[in-house]
Amino acid sequence: MIVTGKGGVGKTTLSVALGMRAAAEGKRTIVCEVAAQENASRMFEHTTVGFHEVELEENLWAISIDPDDSMREYVLLQLKVRAMRDMLFRSRIFNYLAAATPGLKELVTIGKIWELAQLDRKVKSGCKYDTVIVDAPATGHGVGFLQTPRTFANIARVGPIHSQAKTLDNFITDHDNTGVAIVALPEEMPVNESAALERDLVDEVGVAVDRIYLNGLYPERFSKEEAEKLVPLAAEDGAPRAAARAALSEFGRARSQRAQLARLRRRVQAPVKTLPFLFEPDLGPEAARRLSRRLS
Relative to beta strand 209-217, strand 2-5 is: unpaired
Contact between 59 and 74 under an 8 Å Cβ cutoff? The reply is no
Give the whole-angstrom CA distance, residue 181 versus residue 48: 26
In a domain, 261, yes or no: no
In this predicted structure, what is the pLDDT of residue 89? 65
Instruction: Give me the sign of the Cα torsion angle 114, 117, 120, 122.
Output: positive
Q: What is the CATH number of the domain that holds 283?
A: 3.40.50.300
Instruction: Tell me phi and psi for residue 177, to 5 degrees.
Output: -125, -15
How many structural domains compose the chain?
A: 1
Q: Is the pTM of this model over 0.85?
A: yes
Q: Which domain holds residue 120?
A: 2-218+268-295
Amino acid at 207: V
In this predicted structure, what is the pLDDT of residue 81? 62
In a domain, 250, yes or no: no
Contact between 291 and 275 under an 8 Å Cβ cutoff? The reply is yes
| Ordered strands of the 2-5 beta sheet | 54-57, 60-65, 29-34, 131-135, 2-5, 180-184, 209-217, 272-276
In a domain, 258, yes or no: no
Give the whole-angstrom CA distance, residue 131 versus residue 68: 24
What are the angstrom distances between the C-alpha of 182 and each of 56, 221, 292? 24, 27, 16
In a domain, 66, yes or no: yes
Q: Is 228 helix (H, G, I), strand (E, B) or coil?
A: helix
In a domain, 230, yes or no: no
User: First-to-last CA distance in the chain?
Assistant: 15
In a domain, 82, yes or no: yes
Instruction: Give me the sign of the Cα torsion angle 88, 93, 96, 100.
Output: negative
Largest CA distance in the chain: 82
Give the angle 86-91-97 at the CA atoms, nearest 5°.
125
Q: Is 45 helix (H, G, I), strand (E, B) or coil?
A: coil
Residues in CB range of 97: below 8 A, 6 or more apart: none
Q: Is 289 helix (H, G, I), strand (E, B) or coil?
A: helix
User: What string of pLDDT tens digits covers the 296 residues of the chain?
Assistant: 999 998 889 999 999 999 999 999 999 999 999 876 777 878 887 777 888 899 999 999 999 998 888 888 887 777 666 666 667 667 776 666 666 677 888 999 999 999 999 988 888 788 999 999 999 988 778 899 999 999 999 988 778 888 999 999 999 999 999 999 999 999 999 999 999 999 999 999 999 999 999 999 999 999 999 999 999 988 888 788 899 999 999 999 999 999 999 999 999 999 999 999 998 888 888 999 999 999 86
Give the whole-angstrom CA distance, residue 88 versus residue 99: 14
In a domain, 209, yes or no: yes
In a domain, 247, yes or no: no
